[in-house]
Structure 1
Amino acid sequence: MPVREHFRGWLRRELERHSFHNAWATYMAAALNDCFPDGYRASPNVQKAIEIDVAPYGNVQSAPVPRAAGHGEWQPSAGTMTAPFERAGETAEVLVHGDRDGRYLAAAIELVSEGNKDRAEARESFVAKCETYIQNGAGLVIVDLVTTRSANLHDELMARVGPADYTAWGERLYATAYRASGKNGSGRLTI
């Protein structure tokens, strides 16, 4: 199937990209579930950078909280420090769980979005998540079809977990699979 220039066409707006990634992950998980043996299940997980679980519309009046006689109203203490931090970036993935010895993460398929590549902090967060999957023994696939950003997340991941003599690909579009094997700290990574 040819790779189309979809990030410059109708998917150039954030809402359309989010819907596209949602559908892509959902259909991929459904197709995988049709193929998997018993004990494995794929589920899509697509989230924007900030998600609100509950949001009231309009003014919401709450009932007063009763207090015991003679007790003052409790107030939490002020924080000791305020510091900036980077929120989690966009997530578009299919997680594959297995039931061997309880529920475990067998594999992850990461669908790269523009938000994963637009800033150094976002790239670092994405690569750290992928590194954790590999270190925990989960299989990993990264699919990068983002044509509007030139960063190569595979190269950045290999700089952290690959061999010292790794030569960067520099490819803009790619799909790469990773499988870790080995025990007791002496592992091998098959790419």
Structure 2
Amino acid sequence: MPLRDHFCSPIKDRHAWSELHSMWPAMIVRHLFDILPAGYVCAPSVHFGKLFEIDVSTFELDERAGIGPVTGAGDGGVATVAPPEPTLTLETDLSEQDEFEVRVYDAERGRTLVAAIEIVSPANKDRPENRRAFVAKVAALLQKDVCVSVVDLVTIRQFNLYADLLELIGGTDPQLGPDPPHLYSVTIRSRKRTEQRSLLDLWYYPMALGQILPTLPIWLDADRRVMLPLEPSYEETCRLLHMA
């Protein structure tokens, strides 16, 4: 069956989007185990970001707090130096990021991470700082020669994180056009060249509601890859969760 809209009625009325996002990585792992060559393993990783507050007590630097003027050793006391005042104080929200992903490791090289499949959540796209954090994570993985696939089926946030990543690294993709679609899949791998700038190979697949999900190349090293069809694991997840 084709791609459904998990963020609007009627599916939204019966199932939370997080049900699909939580279970789909495990189904992808099941399918990867059938196609990964010997020496490679994979595992799902799911983490819900959350807002958090740190309870910090505020102390006034005055005589009632027991802090007097600076005294020297000649006074028989210990010298106390007040900390410098900050040059700037900002109010911000340092929330954790949602992570719905599958990680592929080379077990013969000490469980080295070689590929990651990232399933985008609404929280990854809802604010500029979250979008920057997501693309920064992808860029950091690429710097470590980790093949990264991004799957974005979030319909309620009209942003394209692949376009944001290209902007970060100073690249463009003519397929995106002036108004990049917000549903897509992409695989990116980095290839280092001796004494030259690295090359990025990209496989971009726009997606649409009502259409079959694409098959992604997952690169395990410079010359070895497997082809991962997203449709079977997606359909299996929807079937087990009774999503029509």
Which runs of no fewer than 5 residues in structure 2 stay unpaired? 53-84, 203-244
Provide the residue aligned with 2:42 in structure 1.
42
Provide the residue aligned with 1:172 in structure 2.
182
The 10-residue stretch of structure 1 (81-90 or 139-148) with the greater mean CA deviation from structure 2: 81-90
Percent of residue pairs identical: 32
One-letter code of the match for 1:188?
A: L
**CA deviation after TM superposition for structure 1 residue 10, in Å:** 5.7
Distance 1:12 1:156, change over 3 A: same
1:189 has 2:200 as partner:
yes
Q: Which has the higher contact order (CA 8 A, sep 6+)?
A: 2
Residue-pair matches, total:
163
TM-score by length of 1: 0.75
Distance across 2 between alignment mates of 1:99 and 1:10? 43
One-letter code of the match for 2:162?
A: H
**CA deviation after TM superposition for structure 1 residue 34, in Å:** 1.8
Which runs of no fewer than 5 residues in structure 1 stay unpaired? 53-79
- What's the secondary structure of 1:109's corresponding residue? strand
Distance across 1 between alignment mates of 2:16 and 2:114? 30
Provide the residue aligned with 1:30 in structure 2.
30
The answer to whether the 8 Å contact 1:88/1:125 transfers is no
One-letter code of the match for 2:150?
A: I
Distance across 1 between alignment mates of 2:10 and 2:156? 13
Provide the residue aligned with 2:96 in structure 1.
88
2:150 to 142, 151, 154: 142
Computing the radius of gyration from Cα coordinates, the structure with the larger value is 2
The answer to whether the 8 Å contact 1:86/1:121 transfers is no
Distance across 2 between alignment mates of 1:166 and 1:30? 32
Provide the residue aligned with 1:124 in structure 2.
132
- Which deviations, in whole Å up to 9, do the C-alpha atoms of 1:135-190 show, x marking residues without a partner? 11011111111111101000000111253x55571112101111111245621000
The answer to whether the 8 Å contact 2:150/2:187 transfers is yes
The answer to whether the 8 Å contact 2:40/2:108 transfers is no
Q: CA RMSD in A?
A: 2.6
